[in-house]
Amino acid sequence: MSHSQIELLQEEPTHHFHPLVSSGPKTDAQGAPDYLNDNGDSADARRAFSDWASGRAVRVEVQGKPEGTGTSFVHSENAVKAQKVTSPGYGPWALRYGGHQFGGWADQLGDGRTVSLVETINPTNGQRVEVQLKGAGRTPYSRFGDGLATLKSSVREFLAPEYMAALGIPTSRSLCVTALPDVSVEREEMNTAAVNMRIAQSWLRIGNFEIHARHKEWESLRILGEYVSKHIFGWSEVVTDQGDAHRPPWAARLVQRVAESNAVTVARWQAYGFMHGVMNTDNIALTGETIDYGPYGFMDLFDEDCICNHSDYTGRYSYRMQPTMTLFAIDKLIDALAPVIGYEIINDQAPSPGVLQSATRSDIAEWTDAADAKREPIALSLQRTMLGEWETVWAARLGLLKADKELIDSLQIAITSLDMTRFMRGLCAVPEKVANNSPIECIAQSLIEGASHVQSDTGPSRVDLVTNWLKTYIERLCAEGRDAANVSAAMRKRNPRFVLRNWITDEVAQRLEQFDTAFLEHVREMCARPFDEWQDEEVRLIS
């Protein structure tokens, strides 16, 4: 693979992955970078990291060090090329999973263009991180695909997690993107290829359990569940080996954990107007992180029925439906783990190795039926968690100590067809305007004008809706009796000035085709600091 590439590096998530990685400058433009002619230690680390991130040196020996797994690779003087450091016991892996896609079972899917390189522990916080390359070529699960990714899709996944993380939404991260100008990818048209190095606590998803359950691979299902419980969720009491020791139940607890973590994530999606676009069960992470950024979108004009995925003809994954689809996904996880859940209910312990595999059909049916007792409690818990988190995030955006569903629902009706981000940013000034005795009608008109597009409804009825909502909102503000300037300042830290709109990611990708990395770095900084008061040349990207 040629060194003729564009490498785009995220500084903050790189240190999130491993704080001891020293990787040099954030972006390298087309052509031979300076580090190729530098024999110093920092250049060697940069060269080694580049080889690893671009897929040139996938099979590397990752050795444990007191300061954290993997440190020796990026700092070792000799760890450069795969053939020089290959360990016979190590290789990349691709995950096997199935999934319900748009409501129907799709059977085996799997990582068709993604390979995991390593799992490591961040020594500063003990958090587990799994590192992947997306677009690195064919895997056993590629089927008829080429295993490649386009520069445009890779850049979209490079930028969105930075914006999501800045908003406080759980998400995977992108360490870097390596563009491959010499490799073309055929989609609707020919595109430049790219490799995206991305990280998450774990890339396991609901579909990993579904595929084993569908194929009655009960022993694999048990082993996977014990692994997730003990190593991903950190439940040290879970027993994973043979023996007669009591085996504490883990299956229903696992579903509860997945349900609550995803409830928090989706509640924050809803509060900030994010639409995932493809909430298939193979795209729902067990950790609750937002993963697999495909046809995502951030709300422009507020519309509860907004669909960001042009292939979603029925609106299954519209903004309004995302909470419902979360419930659907968790119900499918219960389906997959039902025999284990039921066994635990009846026997008050988790199954030992071999128990599920040797069970009769009637045993499996009995345990599966017993698991139904957990469906309603888990669903109710998910809904309570989601509603509570949604109200909490909205309260912060509104500058209130507490917000209720009625106030938020009436706000969403009032801002329908208005720009959600611009309206909420404009609202940050309202506490101070009220303190200065500005008329409510003038405040309402100013908010509407600031959040209007050509398609917006700004007629008398819209003015009345916003004015009436403002009256209720201002009453709540005044009742709390807090300093107006402090409230406005706090609101500006919760309501972004910048939103990553689709046309911006499109322009970034177009400019990268001409090797313009400066514009990407500009947008990346805005994604990382969306609450800043961007001015001058950034104004075009805010409008």
Q: What pLDDT, in 10s, does the model give residues 520-531?
A: 999 999 999 999
Q: What pLDDT, in 10s, does the model give residues 316-348?
A: 999 999 999 999 999 999 999 999 999 999 999
The residue length of the chain stands at 543
Q: Which residue has the tokens 């805010």?
A: 542
What are the DSSP E strand ranges found in 264-397? 274-275, 297-298
For residue 110 the two structure tokens come to: 């799997």
Instruction: Give me the half-sphere count of Cα atoms (radius 13 Å) on the Cβ side of residue 363.
Output: 12
| pLDDT at res. 46 | 59
| pLDDT at res. 79 | 44
Q: In 399-501, which residue ranges form alpha helices assigned H by DSSP?
A: 405-414, 420-427, 430-435, 440-450, 460-480, 484-492
Amino acid identity for residue 506 in this structure: D
Tell which residue, 393, 410, 382, has the closest CA to residue 475: 410
* Whole-number Å distance between alpha carbons of 538 and 500: 12
Tell which residue, 64, 21, 4, has the closest CA to residue 197: 21
* Whole-number Å distance between alpha carbons of 382 and 267: 10
* Whole-number Å distance between alpha carbons of 346 and 465: 55
Tell which residue, 264, 485, 479, has the closest CA to residue 391: 264
* Whole-number Å distance between alpha carbons of 462 and 392: 27
| pLDDT at res. 47 | 62
* Whole-number Å distance between alpha carbons of 253 and 345: 12
Tell which residue, 116, 146, 188, 151, has the closest CA to residue 5: 151
Task: Determine which helix (DSSP H) or strand (DSSP E) holds 325, and give its type and residue range.
Answer: helix 322-347
Amino acid identity for residue 498 in this structure: F
* Whole-number Å distance between alpha carbons of 43 and 77: 10
| pLDDT at res. 412 | 97
CB atoms within 10 A of CB 450: 15
Amino acid identity for residue 8 in this structure: L
Cβ 122 vs Cβ 18: under 8 Å: yes
CB atoms within 10 A of CB 219: 16
Neighbouring-strand partners of residue 174:
198
- Report which DSSP code applies to 154: H
CB atoms within 10 A of CB 315: 13
Task: Determine which helix (DSSP H) or strand (DSSP E) holds 141, and give its type and residue range.
Answer: none
For residue 236 the two structure tokens come to: 């040290």
Tell which residue, 238, 276, 278, 229, has the closest CA to residue 256: 229
Positions in the chain short of pLDDT 70: 1-90, 536-540, 542-543
Angle at 450 (CA atoms; ends 446, 451), nearest 5 degrees: 120
For residue 499 the two structure tokens come to: 């939103």
Q: What are phi and psi of 191, to 5 degrees?
A: -130, 155
Q: Which residue has the tokens 């790219």?
A: 194
Burial class (CB in 10 A: 0-12, 13-18, 19+), 402: exposed
Strand pairing class (6-9; 27-28): antiparallel
Domain ranges for the chain: 6-200, 206-385, 401-492
| Residues with active-site annotation | 282
| pLDDT at res. 20 | 42
Cβ 76 vs Cβ 48: under 8 Å: yes
As a whole number of Å, the end-to-end CA separation of the chain is 40
Cβ 225 vs Cβ 185: under 8 Å: no
| pLDDT at res. 166 | 98
Three-state DSSP class for 476?
Answer: helix
Percent of residues, the chain, with pLDDT higher than 70? 82
